[in-house]
């Protein structure tokens, strides 16, 4: 246990040192000095991180150790690049202070995660509130449609206004809906696993078992049609289908889910012009006509690709690029901004950090013996992995743009807090999984010792 705590402390100190060095280097190159307000704010973040690490060692001593340092590094990279873009905007005669707001949001996210770890002693308590979570999740998901509360930005109505602040409720809705999906699928996994007709060697479910996926499909299409939000719609439906596969083990549900969503997207593309524009931009980004259009042009995508190309293998260096040329460089296209200054090598490191978090989550899902916990952590981790894939794929033209943001890195308080809470839930479940694994190991050792004693008795009897 002492070695575990020492390793946890070393990982935390290492991540904080790397984060501070990156921010210092960027500031010295782009600004010539580090303003005292940033030093104070980052010092508070470091103190909160240490407190959270101590809390994890006390409350969740067997939780996955690599998750917190990786999240801190990703959040620090986000702060560094957002502040970098602020400095370039100011140098060009504009005004921006998004970087300092991001620092504040990171502090709030750490504090809220600590509260969740203190309050939720056993993740299985969440199962009691499955239908309450469903109601809260759907209300949050549809709240931007309320007149006077919701706000449409860039063609998508996914924001609500509270005073002078904007909030993206769908980020929190995914946590509540993940709890509901996990509880529902755990309770009905036997029914949903019953086989129906066999087509092309694949056993499909019975017709009467299509209800759950049909309901979630209708809700996802409702988000797609009413809010014009392809990313959120795709994320929720994919999360449900992924959890459905984990619960039943049937590949047929993935095929059915893919067909259902493909039909919905085709219908929406025919009805709404912004969806067809995204596909056109994806297929023909360098077409002169599309690039020069006043609305729905490929300018943003092309500028992001130019930024990635400028970065090359090693990047221009922190503080030496021009990331602000790309629209929404600190949010939707922050991956391209990082690629310009850190290069392909830096982007691979970022993806490895995500891979470590996702891998720790899936290992937890394999270890945990409780079905509800297995489904919940699988859904949470899959949603993060899917979101990273969709964002990176959209920027690199693997798939069309969806409007989602990169977890922990992109500017925005809603996404940041929601993803920190998601990580806190994974830590809580991983602690239970590793604790159960240790107990099984102890029991197994005792069993083997007893078996050895029996063998010795038999030998002496002979």
Contacts of residue 317, defined as CB under 8 A and 6 or more positions apart, other chains included, come to 29, 341
Alpha helices in 143-251 (DSSP H): 170-193, 211-227, 230-248
Displacement of CA 104 from its chain's centroid (Å)? 20
Per-domain residue ranges of the chain: 1-119+305-371+394-431, 121-271
- pLDDT in 10s for each residue of the chain, 462 residues: 677 778 888 899 999 999 999 999 999 999 999 999 999 999 999 999 999 999 998 999 989 989 999 999 999 999 999 999 999 999 888 888 999 999 999 999 999 999 999 999 889 999 999 889 988 988 888 888 877 777 766 666 677 877 667 788 888 989 999 999 898 888 887 777 766 666 656 666 666 666 666 777 677 767 766 666 777 788 888 888 888 888 888 787 788 888 877 887 777 777 666 777 888 899 999 999 999 888 878 999 999 999 999 999 999 999 999 999 998 899 989 999 999 999 999 999 999 999 999 999 999 999 998 999 999 999 999 999 999 999 999 999 998 888 788 999 999 899 999 999 999 999 999 999 988 655 554 344 443 454 445 445 545 555
CA angle 148, 152, 157 (to 5 degrees): 95
Q: How many of the other CB atoms lie within 10 Å of CB of 324?
A: 20
DSSP state of 206: P
- Phi and psi at 295, nearest 5°, equal -130, 135
For residues 431 and 122, is the Cβ–Cβ distance under 8 A? no
- Answer positive or negative: Cα dihedral of 420, 424, 426, 427: positive
Q: Which helix (H) or strand (E) holds 166?
A: strand 165-167
Q: In whole angstroms, give the CA distance from residue 238 to residue 232.
A: 10
- SS3 per residue for 304-346: HHHHHHHHCCCCCCCCCCCHHHCCCCCCCCHHHHHHHHHHHHH
For residues 333 and 326, is the Cβ–Cβ distance under 8 A? yes
Q: In whole angstroms, give the CA distance from residue 305 to residue 326.
A: 9
For residues 393 and 332, is the Cβ–Cβ distance under 8 A? no
For residues 274 and 153, is the Cβ–Cβ distance under 8 A? no
DSSP state of 157: E
């Amino acid at each position: 246990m002492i070695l575990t705590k020492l390793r946890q402390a070393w990982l935390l100190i290492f991540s904080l040192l790397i984060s501070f060095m990156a921010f210092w280097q960027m500031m010295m190159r782009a600004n010539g000095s580090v303003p005292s307000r940033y030093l104070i704010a980052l010092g508070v973040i470091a103190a909160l991180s240490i407190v959270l690490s101590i809390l994890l060692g006390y409350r969740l001593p067997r939780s996955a150790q690599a998750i917190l340092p990786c999240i801190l590094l990703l959040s620090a990279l986000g702060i560094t690049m957002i502040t970098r873009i602020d400095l370039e905007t100011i140098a060009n005669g504009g005004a921006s202070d998004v970087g300092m707001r991001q620092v504040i949001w990171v502090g709030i996210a750490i504090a809220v995660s600590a509260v969740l770890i203190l309050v939720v002693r056993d993740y299985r308590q969440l199962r009691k509130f499955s239908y309450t979570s469903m109601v809260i999740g759907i209300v949050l998901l549809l709240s931007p449609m309320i007149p006077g509360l919701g706000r449409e930005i860039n063609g998508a109505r996914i924001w609500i206004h509270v005073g002078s602040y904007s909030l993206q409720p769908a980020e929190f809705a995914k946590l509540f809906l993940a709890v509901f999906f996990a509880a529902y699928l755990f309770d009905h996994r036997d029914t949903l696993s019953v086989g129906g007709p066999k087509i092309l060697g694949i056993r499909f479910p019975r017709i009467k078992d299509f209800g759950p996926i049909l309901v979630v499909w209708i809700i996802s299409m409702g988000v797609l049609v009413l809010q014009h939000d392809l990313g959120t719609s795709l994320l929720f439906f994919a999360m449900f289908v992924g959890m459905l596969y984990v619960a039943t083990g049937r590949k047929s549900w993935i095929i059915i889910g893919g067909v259902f969503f493909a039909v919905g997207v085709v219908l929406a593309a025919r009805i709404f012009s912004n969806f067809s524009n995204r596909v056109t931009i994806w297929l023909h980004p360098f077409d002169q006509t599309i690039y020069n259009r006043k609305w729905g042009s490929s300018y943003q995508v092309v500028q992001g690709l130019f930024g990635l190309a400028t970065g090359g293998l090693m990047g221009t260096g922190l503080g030496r690029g021009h990331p602000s040329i790309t629209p929404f460089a600190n949010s939707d296209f922050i991956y391209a901004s990082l690629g310009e200054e850190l290069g392909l090598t830096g982007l691979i490191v970022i993806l490895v950090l995500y891979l470590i978090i996702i891998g720790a989550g899936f290992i937890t899902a394999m270890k945990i013996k409780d079905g509800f916990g297995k489904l919940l952590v699988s859904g949470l981790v899959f949603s993060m992995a899917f979101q990273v894939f969709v964002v990176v794929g959209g920027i690199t033209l693997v798939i069309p743009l969806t409007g989602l943001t990169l977890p922990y890195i992109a500017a925005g308080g809603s996404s940041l807090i929601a993803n920190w809470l998601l990580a806190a839930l994974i830590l809580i479940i991983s602690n239970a999984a590793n604790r159960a694994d240790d107990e099984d190991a102890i029991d197994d050792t005792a069993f083997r010792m007893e078996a050895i004693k029996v063998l010795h008795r038999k030998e002496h009897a002979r």
